Chain A
Amino acid sequence: MIYYDRVSKVYADNSVALEDVSFSVEPGEFISVVGHSGAGKTTLIKMLLAEEEPSSGAVFFESINVHEVPARRMGELRRKIGTVFQDFKLLPSKTAYENIAFAMEAAGRSEEEIRSDVPHVLELVDLGDKINNFPDELSGGEQQRVAIARAIVNQPDVIVADEPTGNLDPVNTFEVVQILKKINDLGTTIILTTHNKGVIDSLKKRVITMDRGRVIRDDREGKYIL
């Protein structure tokens, strides 16, 4: 489903972000990418979203080389990949409802679908009562759950979560991971980057360990080993 084919990324100042990275992700998998800060986890994610160009190699999503998708069709690709970030990236001028509705509108969904689906996904992430709050009226954990709701509302094939628990306390971290597990159980592929040992050890799923831009371990039912 997703295939990194010998991907390398060297920045203009010769710093190496990724070096000869190859692995594939099967549909329905839950994989965690771990590593210290600067190991290349975020660059790996950005490659899949075509936010960054590889210096060499290619990234395939459902047999399509994502870096050969023209700019005007990029929206279609990105709608198949739900994204969750450490800093939530919610639109501050929109309410929780509107933030999620926006992703649906961008995908060209009808008003009826939006009216029925948005409260439903907010219910799913346990935020049914915060539907009309703006992001700055929500706690970090709540904002992250809105972000997850936004990521899943268009029923993407993959959810990419880049350090989603980085800004959260242990209770919220646990909740967010539980939600991701629930989504995975419903059949969506999840790619999670983190350096939270507790999260990895409790998941008991596939773990890819990175160090200085290289994949150094790829364990089925892995643990956080660094």
Chain B
Amino acid sequence: MNWVTIKRTFRTGFLSFWRNGFVSFASVLMMVFTLFIIGLAIFTGVILNTTLQQFRDKADMNVYFTTDAPEDQILALQKQVNALPEVASTEYISAGDALANFRESHQNDQLTLQALDELGQNPLGAVLNIKAKDINSYGTIASFLQSQDTAQSGQPQIIDKINYFDQQHQDAVNRLSQVTTSAKWIGLIIIIIFVITTIAISFNTLRLAIYSSREEIAVMRLVGAGQGYIRWPFMIEGMMYGLIAGIITMLLFYPLTFWLGRSTADFFGGVSVFSYYINHFVELFLIIVGSGVIIGLIASFLAVRRYLRI
């Protein structure tokens, strides 16, 4: 394709966009709808993901040490645990802190406190609180701890109990894992169905827009225009629909996310769609406008192809 042809192709595309005002308007509107759904899908995905992540973060694992476990051994073990790739963070609570915490939480329970005073010594051991990056890796970490503990033969075991091995705790963690996983899948499937449906509607709109030009395409063929020469103006028109619709959609999301920002942050705990919109503006712009342009391009390519077979 030489420069003159490219120039002509663009000019024809722009002219036809302008002159077929109503068809262009309707197509852009339909495309805005599609891109809006894609945008909503992205925001929904972000909210869903962070919300589920917060649920998953609520899961943790406590390792209780024996009362006579030496602190340096516990700290050495903490170091080892921290080095594991599955582990997000650990928190060491010394026996003294554990006692203080216990006293605080039972400050209205004089009977228990009295019993504690009677003992004369600290009955509580140190605790290591572990948070894993993924809810499914607690099992691995727990077995690692257990093997570390038994491996040090000759020395007395320092781990008293790992609450992961409590049936109740394990059930709760598994339940949480299952619920969040299926919520993620259901959300994803709904999003995909919506996106596919609107893309199909968009395709159909462009097909109808080009259907009204089928006579024109036939005439172009008869005066000897080549396939590319006929096809490209339509594809440029399709891309323009996508480009304009993408920009409109991005503009629409500004007031919308601003309005929704606070309530989503309150409701879903932390994630504000508005700050997400602002912080990820460039990516969102590229995704929304890019999807529009690509949908416009492919849809018009396919639609013209039907009428080129003369």
Binding site for B on A (CB under 8 A): 49, 51, 71-72, 74-79, 83, 89-93, 102-103, 105-108, 110-111, 150, 154
Contact = CB atoms under 8 A, between A and B. Distances in A.
Contacts of B119: none
B19 interface: yes
Contact of B224 (A89, A90, A107, A110): A107
Interface in B219-234: 219-227, 229
Interface residues of B, number: 20
| 10 interchain residue pairs of minimum CB distance | A79-B224, A106-B225, A78-B224, A103-B223, A75-B226, A75-B224, A89-B219, A93-B19, A105-B8, A91-B216
Interface of B: 4-5, 8, 16, 19-20, 215-216, 218-227, 229, 310
A117 B218 CA distance: 24
Nearest to B223: A103
A110 B5 CA distance: 10
Contacts of A83: 222-223
A71 B227 contact: yes
Contacts of A78: 221-224
A106 B216 contact: no
Given A110-B4, A111-B4, A91 B227 contact: no
Contacts of B224: 75-79, 103, 106-107, 154
Which of A49, A76, A93, A106 gathers most chain B CB within 10 Å? A106
A168 B65 CA distance: 104
A70 to B, nearest CB: 11
A102 B310 CA distance: 19
Nearest to B309: A71
Contacts of B226: 72, 75, 106
Nearest to A109: B4
A115 to B, nearest CB: 13
A51 B310 CA distance: 6
A180 to B, nearest CB: 18
A106 B226 CA distance: 7
Contacts of A91: 216, 219-220
15 contacts: A49-B222, A51-B310, A72-B226, A75-B221, A75-B227, A76-B224, A83-B223, A89-B218, A90-B219, A91-B216, A93-B16, A102-B220, A102-B225, A106-B223, A108-B5
Which of B216, B219, B221, B225 gathers most chain A CB within 10 Å? B219
Contacts of B16: 93
A108 B19 CA distance: 24
B212 to A, nearest CB: 10
Contacts of A105: 8, 229
Contacts of A79: 223-224
Contact of A75 (B20, B219, B225): B225
Contacts of A103: 223-224
A107 B222 CA distance: 12
Contact of B215 (A49, A71, A89): A89
A66 B203 CA distance: 35
Contacts of A76: 224
A51 B218 CA distance: 10
Contacts of A75: 221, 224-227, 229
Contacts of A74: 221
